Amino acid sequence: MAFPRNQWYVAAYGSEVGDGLLARTICGEPIVFYRTRDGKPVGLADRCVHRRYPLSASGRDGDRIVCGYHGFTYDPDGTCVAVPGQRRVPRTARVPRYTVVEQDSLIWVWIGEDGKADPAAIPRAPWLDSPDYVTVRGMEPLAARYELLVDNLLDLSHETYLHGGYIGTPEVAATPITTEVDEEAGVVYVSRRMKDAECPPFYAKSTGIEGRIDRWQDIEYHPPCLYLLHSRIAPTGVEPGPDGDDPRACHAEIVYAITPETETSTHDFWMVARDFARDDEEVSRFLADSNRTVVLQDVEALNLLEKVIAAEPEGYQELSINIDTGGLAARRMLQRMTAQ
């Protein structure tokens, strides 16, 4: 399967991985996740070496997994320590172990050569477990290739049309973007700064700001997996202070983890961290419900687009314009990563 390998991918939220056995397919590789008794997250190939029974459908004995079919027993490093009916464990009885790191409330897994895994290369999203922010989150399955979600998130002009009544306003599509590509760091930046814009319900109801706003959308895409949208919402004319202090504005950090499941399906992790109304549970519920609605609108559109692409003749040529600059840069980076 054509995915960038030797890369970090978000496999789960930290809260999803516990005493139970969590099955998740990442880049076509079935993996079972759990925590040891000391809290360390573990990822093993989700197939018993004996008859391929899913370990995620099995049980635990302390920190070990006991296959639910014939009882092959595995340590957290994937080594088989017991087999039925004999004392000697075959030397080759082991399952692959994945390098797993927990950071910023996310469980990251390394897909590639184990010796090349460098946790320092994992991009950061510190707001997700910062006491200065409150985060709502979810995950929706997408029946489409992950590249379509990358395109979608790097061109936010679609908010005007697909997400009207939630986060879309006319200014999003009408305002030009600026795009920068840091080839050395491997990051795509796309920025849209809107002045005197309509305040969409998503922000009007959550921030309490009345009237028109200045709205910033500053995107960082760290291929292949992490997407960050730094969103600033302020009454029109309110600017940050000379030292970058910005107390009259509201800030939302929108985070997506774009994790391929298969060639035509994706784990769409979404998070909204905010520095306003942090103690207001009603705002949290509103943002969680509203953002999930927006995500499901994207899911419906991209699932449809996947079907169109699968049925179209080979060699079909797209038309691209300025709003696609960031998405095209991301495509080039992903193609290089996959080729490498």
Task: Let me know: does 329 contact 183? Beta carbons within 8 Å.
Answer: no
Dihedrals φ, ψ of 129, to 5°? Answer: -130, 30
d(CA 84, CA 196): 71
In which region does residue 289 sit, left (phi positive, over 0), alpha (psi from -120 to 50) or beta (all else)? alpha
Task: Let me know: does 37 contact 62? Beta carbons within 8 Å.
Answer: yes
Q: So what's the pLDDT on residue 147?
A: 98
d(CA 336, CA 22): 32
Q: What is the pLDDT of residues 126-172, one digit of tens each?
A: 999 999 999 999 999 999 999 999 999 999 999 999 999 999 999 99
Q: So what's the pLDDT on residue 81?
A: 98
Q: So what's the pLDDT on residue 1?
A: 60
Positions in the chain short of pLDDT 50:
none
Q: Output helix, strand, coil percentages for the chain, rounded to the nearest 5.
A: 25, 35, 35
User: Which amino acid is residue 298, in one-letter code?
Assistant: D
Q: So what's the pLDDT on residue 215?
A: 98
pTM of the full structure: 0.96
Query: How is 195-224 classified by DSSP, letter by letter?
Result: EEEPPPHHHHHHH---S-EEEEEEEEEETT
Q: So what's the pLDDT on residue 274?
A: 98
With 0-12 / 13-18 / 19 or more C-beta atoms within 10 angstroms meaning exposed / middle / buried, residue 143 is middle
110: Cα separation from own chain's centroid: 14
Q: So what's the pLDDT on residue 2?
A: 86
Beta bridge pairs of residue 195: none
d(CA 42, CA 77): 8
